[in-house]
């Protein structure tokens, strides 16, 4: 399989039709070590040009410690606070020594204004497996909005 063919199969276009219920783990697991390395390098290059959550998730699945410096650069860019939380949670899964990310995630969470982003952020914050961040999530368990309450509880289970 050619390099671009692998990439297209692992990271399809961002359309809902191609991404809904998509899971690239089986494809990745079928690759040999060299193909995985090529894919990893291509994914890291893609980080410079776009924010794509599937690329981030794939780097975690590949356990790409090589991507951490590029992810840290991405955090420094002017991006949405919800994206900062997502990127920080990806980095912490790859490199537990990046303890300063907790402060970035918490600061970004405190800037979120709408419940949809907070719900999304609960899952990112929970990946830190940190008592202080879990306490923040837990403070939404009895929220009057049933979706906020449900997702705060659900994110703590993961």
Task: Summarize pLDDT for 14-73 with one digit per residue, the tens.
Answer: 777 878 889 999 999 999 999 999 999 999 998 887 778 899 999 999 999 999 999 999
pLDDT at position 3, please? 52
7 and 33 belong to one structural domain: yes
Range of the domain at 90: 78-158
62 and 82 belong to one structural domain: no
Question: In sequence order, which residues have a C-beta less than 8 Å from that of residue 68 and are 6 or more positions away?
Answer: 91, 94, 95, 98
41 and 90 belong to one structural domain: no
92 and 36 belong to one structural domain: no
Per-residue pLDDT tens digits for 82-104: 999 999 999 999 998 988 999 99
158 and 86 belong to one structural domain: yes
pLDDT at position 8, please? 84
pLDDT at position 13, please? 82
82 and 50 belong to one structural domain: no
User: Does residue 60 contact residue 93 with C-beta atoms inside 8 Å?
Assistant: yes
Cα 13 to chain centroid, rounded: 18
Question: In sequence order, which residues have a C-beta less than 8 Å from that of residue 128 and are 6 or more positions away?
Answer: 88, 89, 92, 101, 102, 105
- Only one residue has tokens 């509880």, namely 153
CA-CA distance, 9 to 28, in Å (whole number)? 9
Asked if residue 12 has pLDDT above 90, the reply is no
85 and 152 belong to one structural domain: yes
Per-residue pLDDT tens digits for 112-153: 999 999 999 999 999 999 999 999 999 999 999 999 999 999
CA-CA distance, 45 to 88, in Å (whole number)? 18
Question: Which of these three, 21, 36, 67, is where a domain ends?
Answer: 67
pLDDT at position 84, please? 95
11 and 30 belong to one structural domain: yes
9 and 51 belong to one structural domain: yes
CA-CA distance, 153 to 155, in Å (whole number)? 6
Question: Which of these three, 67, 96, 117, is where a domain ends?
Answer: 67
Please tell me the total count of domains within the chain. 2
Per-residue pLDDT tens digits for 72-83: 999 988 789 999
């Amino acid at each position: 399989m050619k390099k671009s063919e692998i990439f297209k199969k692992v990271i399809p276009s961002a359309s809902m039709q191609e991404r809904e219920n998509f899971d690239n783990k089986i494809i990745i697991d079928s690759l040999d070590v060299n193909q995985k390395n090529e894919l990893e390098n291509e994914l890291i290059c893609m980080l410079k040009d776009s924010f794509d959550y599937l690329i981030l998730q794939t780097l975690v699945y590949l356990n790409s410690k090589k991507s951490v410096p590029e992810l840290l650069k991405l955090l420094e860019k002017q991006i949405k606070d919800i994206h900062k939380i997502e990127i920080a949670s990806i980095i912490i899964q790859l490199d537990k020594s990046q303890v300063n990310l907790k402060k970035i995630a918490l600061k970004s969470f405190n800037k979120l204004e709408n419940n949809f982003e907070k719900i999304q952020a609960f899952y990112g914050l929970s990946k830190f497996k940190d008592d202080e961040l879990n306490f923040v999530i837990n403070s939404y368990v009895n929220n009057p909005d049933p979706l906020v309450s449900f997702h705060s509880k659900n994110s703590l289970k993961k």
